[in-house]
């Protein structure tokens, strides 16, 4: 019952289950013998709606369930004890999960996000009790520092060090902020964590507040996440009811509460200073640093800002110990990382893997390989601020240092897979269009520079590329990176730099040959009919919106290139593969 599951029909499926169980007389015994609850994202979003039936401690999972399939599951499996074999998940579903290491996602898809008792049953708030009953703020910070946890929002700054800097900074009150303003195209990690296990984030925030000496907290979350917002607010109410928020938390001297601040969807508000201005009621635009937010953040007071995934790691680290968490990952990149695996991949969904895992294992062992078994071409990591990694680097370890060396970045966790049919010039244009439209306009390099970059890319993909355009893109990108005010502008050219670095021949084909090798850029395509294959059936004539195809019945037809709008409808309509696109 996460957003993806609900979009696939999860709410209808659950309603029908309730009705059928009631009709069978099972519903009346729910509290004694049968329980039914909703869970957040299970990870393998491509198989929604997923349903677990646990009967006598044996769990069976179904995939692609629709409401009209429920009655048979109830009758045959729940009542008679015989699973409906043809609807069960195949073995690759279990491989998808078995090859991951779950810390943040350990309870997502297991606990009921709307029931704090379910979180208690999974060990929830034990870490908070451990901290408040036996660890000083300095000892708490030391645990996080020794764990090696680094910020999962993109920059990778050591979390324990950030907490320590905020604690030592002069000024009170101090603030804890959770950045849930997830804006990268194709990213849904933070949304899914809050939808699936909001109490883990809340518990992490309370522990952070204890460490830095704060009694005020904010969750900055975009309003476009209505389900996450609803479950977060419900979780906050439940935490207050159990004296886990508010005054004298669980009988101690600690006071701390959390407010929810809705963002309006501006990508730039993912930047820390712009986010804080937005909370203050000002326009979300970044400011010059230093001073850093740990010294002068929200209302110019010491502020510790961590993203959703970073905070959700904290309870597990406190419960299991710094050494346990540091055992995952690499020497400099400890722990695990959550990724939103999307694009031309068979198993799209939410995954969590140890830092340092080879990219090939993510794409093929967990992701199941490329859709339609096409060739892998590249992966875009880190969203519009990241870069493309080509096939020759498919075995790169996924960690902060290795990806940065290739011109990419871990980022917040977006991972978009591209196949042989992807045009890398078009990919660069797509991400540049996003960052250019999301520029706040405060600084000239970002406001004007990204506009000029986009204009050049649009010219190239329209067949009007000029000699020197590729080098001009690189020169302008370098200037924007070093002179922009904030991380949005400083990283906006990354997709251009990496696509030219690894796919320069595609740019040259567009500029000098006026061709798109991947056959994506419409204005660079030419359509023609193979005379020896054409049967003169007229199917292409009937679908052509421009009237560009002519010919007699049962005789080869022709396309008038002066009229053709290159929409591709004729190619889709032809059963004889008689129309070429070059």
Contact 199, 116 (CB under 8 A): yes
Distances (CA, A) of 566 to 13, 226, 514, 516, 544: 43, 40, 15, 13, 10
Distances, alpha carbon 577 to alpha carbons 524, 567, 580, 581, 582, in Å: 20, 16, 8, 11, 14
pLDDT at 23: 87
- Is the CB of residue 259 less than 8 Å from the CB of residue 218? yes
Q: Would you tell me the crossing angle of helices 308-320 and 137-147 to the nearest 10 degrees?
A: 100
Q: Look up the CATH number of the domain holding residue 408.
A: 3.10.20.600
298 and 213 in a common domain:
yes
The per-residue pLDDT for 268 is 93
Residues 439 and 404 in one domain: no
Residue 462, class by beta-carbon neighbours within 10 Å (0-12 exposed, 13-18 middle, 19+ buried)? middle
For 366-420, the DSSP string reads: IS-SBGGGPPEEEEEESGGGSEEEEGGGTT-B-SHHHHHHTT---TTSEEEEEET
Instruction: For residue 314, tell me if it sits in a domain.
Output: yes
412, 431: one domain = no
Q: Roughly what angle, to the nearest 10 degrees, separates helices 444-461 and 424-438? A: 150
Which residue do the tokens 């300095």 mark?
138
Chunked in runs of 10, what are the mean pLDDT values of the chain (582 residues)?
93 93 69 68 92 90 96 94 96 90 94 95 97 96 98 90 98 97 88 96 98 97 95 98 97 97 93 96 92 96 97 98 97 95 94 96 95 95 89 95 91 91 96 94 95 97 95 97 93 95 97 94 93 95 95 94 92 94 86
CB atoms within 10 A of CB 136: 11
Domain limit, last residue, from 326, 356, 381 = 326
Characterize 565-576 residue by residue with b for buried, 16 or more Cβ atoms within 10 angstroms of its Cβ, and e for exposed: ebeebbeebbee
Same domain, 241 and 342: no
Longest Cα–Cα distance in the chain:
89
Q: Alpha-carbon distance 89 to 87, whole Å?
A: 7
Tokens of 580: 């070429």
Phi, psi angles (nearest 5°) of residue 179: -90, 105
**CA 18 – CA 429 distance, rounded (Å):** 48
For residue 103, is it within any domain? no
Q: 455 in a domain, yes or no?
A: yes
Q: Are residues 80 and 124 in the same domain?
A: no
Q: Do 158 and 78 fall within a single domain?
A: no
CATH of the domain at 41: 3.40.30.10
Q: Print the domain residue range for 344.
A: 336-419
Q: What is the pLDDT of residue 145?
A: 98
Instruction: Mark which of 299, 326, 353 sits at the end of a domain.
Output: 326
Per the domain annotation, does 497 fall within a domain? yes
Query: Are 551 and 436 found together in one domain?
Result: no
Give me the pLDDT at residue 29, please: 44
Tokens of 403: 């990806």
Same domain, 7 and 138: no
Final residue belonging to a domain, choices 511, 539, 560: 511
CATH code for the domain in which residue 570 is found: 3.30.70.20
Is residue 98 one of the residues assigned to a domain? no
Residue 367 tokens, joined: 């992701």
Domain identity same for 154 and 294: yes
- Report the alpha-carbon distance of residue 177 to residue 179 in Å, rounded: 6
Q: Where residue 222 sits, what CATH number does that domain have?
A: 3.40.50.11540
Residue 291 is assigned to a structural domain of this protein = yes
Question: Residue 488 domain-assigned?
Answer: yes
What's the number of domains the chain is made of? 5
Q: Tally Cβ neighbours within 10 Å of residue 467.
A: 9
135 and 249 belong to one structural domain:
yes
Q: Give a yes or no: residue 31 inside a domain.
A: yes
Task: Mark whether 497 and 544 lie in a shared domain.
Answer: no
Q: What is the CATH number of the domain that holds 453?
A: 1.20.1440.230
Q: Strand runs (DSSP E) across 234-384, as ranges?
A: 257-263, 303-307, 336-343, 349-354, 376-381
Let me know whether 319 and 397 are in one domain. no
Q: pLDDT for 23-48, tens place per residue?
A: 888 754 433 445 678 899 989 989 99
Tens digit of each residue's pLDDT (9 = 90 or more) over 555-567: 999 999 999 999 9
Residue pLDDT, tens place only, 327-382: 999 999 999 999 999 999 999 999 999 999 999 999 999 999 999 999 999 999 98
Cis, peptide link before residue 291, omega less than 30° from 0: yes
Closest Cα to residue 262, out of 232, 239, 234? Answer: 232
Q: Report d(CA 193, CA 203) in Å as an integer.
A: 13
- Looking at the DSSP bridge assignments, the partners of residue 218 are 177, 259
């Amino acid at each position: 019952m996460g957003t993806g599951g609900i979009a696939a029909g999860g709410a209808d499926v659950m309603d029908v289950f309730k009705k059928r169980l009631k009709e069978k007389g099972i519903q009346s015994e729910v509290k004694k013998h049968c329980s039914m609850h909703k869970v957040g994202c299970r990870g393998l979003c491509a198989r929604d709606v997923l349903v677990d039936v646990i009967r006598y401690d044996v769990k069976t999972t179904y995939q692609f369930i629709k409401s009209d399939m429920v009655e048979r599951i109830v009758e045959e499996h729940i009542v008679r004890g015989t699973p409906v074999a043809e609807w069960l998940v195949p073995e690759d579903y279990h491989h998808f999960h078995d090859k991951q290491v779950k810390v943040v996602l350990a309870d997502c898809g297991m606990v009921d996000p709307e029931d704090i008792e379910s979180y208690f049953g999974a060990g929830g708030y034990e870490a908070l009790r451990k901290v408040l009953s036996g660890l000083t703020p300095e000892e708490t910070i030391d645990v996080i520092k020794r764990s090696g946890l680094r910020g999962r929002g993109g920059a990778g700054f050591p979390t324990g060090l950030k907490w320590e800097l905020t604690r030592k900074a002069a000024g009170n009150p101090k603030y804890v902020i959770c950045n849930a303003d997830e804006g990268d195209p194709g990213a849904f990690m933070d949304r899914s964590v809050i939808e699936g296990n909001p109490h883990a984030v809340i518990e992490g925030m309370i522990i952070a507040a204890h460490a830095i000496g704060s009694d005020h907290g904010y969750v900055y979350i975009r309003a476009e996440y209505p389900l996450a917002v609803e479950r977060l607010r419900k979780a906050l109410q439940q935490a207050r009811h159990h004296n886990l928020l508010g005054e004298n938390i669980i009988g101690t001297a600690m006071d701390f509460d959390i407010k929810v601040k809705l963002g309006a969807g501006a990508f730039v508000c993912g930047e820390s200073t712009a986010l804080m201005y937005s909370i203050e009621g000002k326009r979300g635009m970044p400011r010059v640093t230093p001073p850093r937010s740990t010294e002068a953040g929200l209302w110019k007071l010491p502020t510790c800002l961590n993203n959703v995934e970073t905070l959700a790691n904290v309870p597990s680290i406190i419960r299991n110990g710094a050494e346990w968490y540091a055992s995952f990952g690499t020497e400099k990149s400890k722990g695990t990382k959550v990724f939103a695996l999307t694009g031309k991949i068979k198993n799209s969904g939410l995954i969590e893997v140890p830092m340092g895992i080879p990219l090939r294992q993510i794409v093929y062992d967990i992701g199941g390989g490329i859709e339609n078994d096409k060739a892998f071409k590249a992966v875009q990591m880190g969203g519009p601020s990241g870069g493309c990694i080509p096939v020759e680097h498919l075995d790169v370890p996924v960690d902060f240092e290795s990806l940065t060396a290739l011109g990419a970045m871990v980022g917040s966790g977006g991972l978009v897979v591209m196949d042989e049919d992807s045009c890398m010039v078009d990919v660069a244009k797509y991400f540049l269009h996003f960052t250019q439209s999301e520029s706040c306009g405060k600084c000239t390099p970002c406001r004007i520079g990204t506009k000029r970059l986009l204009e050049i890319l649009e010219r190239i993909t329209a067949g009007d590329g000029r000699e020197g355009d590729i080098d001009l893109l690189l020169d302008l990108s370098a200037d924007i990176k070093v002179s922009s005010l904030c991380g949005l502008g400083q990283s906006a050219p990354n997709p251009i730099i990496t696509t030219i670095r690894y796919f320069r021949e595609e740019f040259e084909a567009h500029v000098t040959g006026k061709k798109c090798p991947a056959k994506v850029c419409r204005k660079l395509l030419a359509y023609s009919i193979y005379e020896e294959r054409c049967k003169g059936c007229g199917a292409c004539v009937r679908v052509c919106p421009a009237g560009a195809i002519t010919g007699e019945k049962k005789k080869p037809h022709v396309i008038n290139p002066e009229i053709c709008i290159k929409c591709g409808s004729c190619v889709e309509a032809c059963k004889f593969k008689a129309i070429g696109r070059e």
